[in-house]
Amino acid sequence: MPWDTGRPGGSADGGPEGAGTARSRAQKQCRKSSFAFYQAVRDLQPVWQLENMRASEAFHWDERGRATAYSPSEALLYALVHDHKAYAHYLLATFPRRALALPSTGFRCCAEAGLHVALAVRYNRVGILRRILCTVRDFPSEERTRLLDRCGCSRVEGGGTSLHVACELARPECLFLLLGHGASPCLRDGGGLTPLELLLRQLGRDTGATSAAGEPVPGEPRQRRLLLLDLLALYTPAGATGPARCELLGDQPRWQRLLGDDKFHWLAGLAPPSLFMRAMQVLVTAISPSRFPEALDELPLPPFLQPLDLTGKG
C-alpha cells in the first residue's frame, strides 16, 4: 500500500530512507494514481474502462492511506462534475442506492444526504438530475424526501435546499424537475428565506437598474428569474407567500411594473391567484412524480413553460 513505510528502504529504523521521506513519496504517488480515475471520467472514457478503474484498489486510497475502491457514490460525483451522462446513467441503474449514498468524508463537508441532487443543480446537469429523480421514485417516501429536501452545509451552501440553489443560480429546468418530483418550496435556508423569498431578493437586485422612464432594464438574468418565479408560483401553497409581503409592499410601484398587477397582488397577499394561475396549479400539481415530466406533454401548457428543455439534451 502506498503509505506503508515498512517496506525495504523505507523503514524509520534501519533503511537508508527516512520514514518521513518515504511517506511523502507514497502520498505523492497516491495523489497521482487517484487523479488518474478523475482524469478518465473528465475525458469521458468508456463506461467499461471507468468501471474497471473504479473497482480497482490501485486508483484510490482513503483518508487513512488504505487502498480501497471508489464507491459508486464517489464515481457519480465525478460523473456529475464532468457531465459524463453515460457513466452516471450506468451507476444509477446498476447501484441505485449506493450511487446516491453518502460518499466518504474526503468528498463532502457534512453528513447530509442528497449531495448528488444539489451538485446536479449547481452544475446544471439537467439530464443526470432527471435520471436521479427517476431513480428515487422507487425509494421509500421518507428516503426520497430526505434526498430532495436536503439542507446543505451552513458554512458552504448557506443551509439551503436544492431549490434554493436552483433559484440562486437561475436554473429553471432543475427547479421545475425538483418541484414536479415533490421537493418542498416552503423550507428555509440558513438565513431564514424560502426559495420564493430568496428569488424576490435577487429580482430586487437585478432590477436596480432602470431606464430614464423608470422602467426596469431588461436582461437575461432577470428574465430567467421571472421564469423561476412563475414556476414557484405553480407549487406554492395558499398562504405561503405571506412572509414576502414586506419585500413587495416596501416598493409597490416598482414590483407592480415588474410582476404585473395580478401576480403582485397575489404574492403580496392582497388578492387570491387569478383563475388561470389557480387552474394551472391544479393541473400541474395533479401530476404524480412517477409520471413527471412525461405527463406534461398531455397538458395545454402556457407559453412560459414551453421553452423548458427537461431532457438534458439541449
- Cβ neighbours of 55 (radius 10 Å): 13
Hey, is 208 helix, strand or coil? coil
**pTM higher than 0.85 for the full model?**
no
Instruction: Provide CB contacts within 8 A for 100, sequence distance 6+.
Output: 73, 76, 92, 113, 116, 132, 135, 136, 147
User: In a structure prediction context, what are the per-residue pLDDT tens digits for the chain, which is 314 residues long?
Assistant: 333 333 334 444 445 555 566 556 655 665 666 788 899 999 999 999 999 989 887 666 666 666 678 899 999 999 999 999 999 999 999 999 999 998 887 777 776 767 899 999 999 999 999 999 999 998 999 999 999 998 877 666 678 999 999 999 999 999 999 999 999 998 999 888 889 989 988 888 776 544 444 454 456 778 889 889 989 988 887 666 666 777 788 888 888 888 888 888 888 888 888 888 888 888 888 888 888 888 877 776 666 665 566 665 55
Query: Which has the closest alpha carbon to 114: 90, 86, 133, 130?
Result: 133
**Pair 209, 201: CB distance under 8 Å:** no
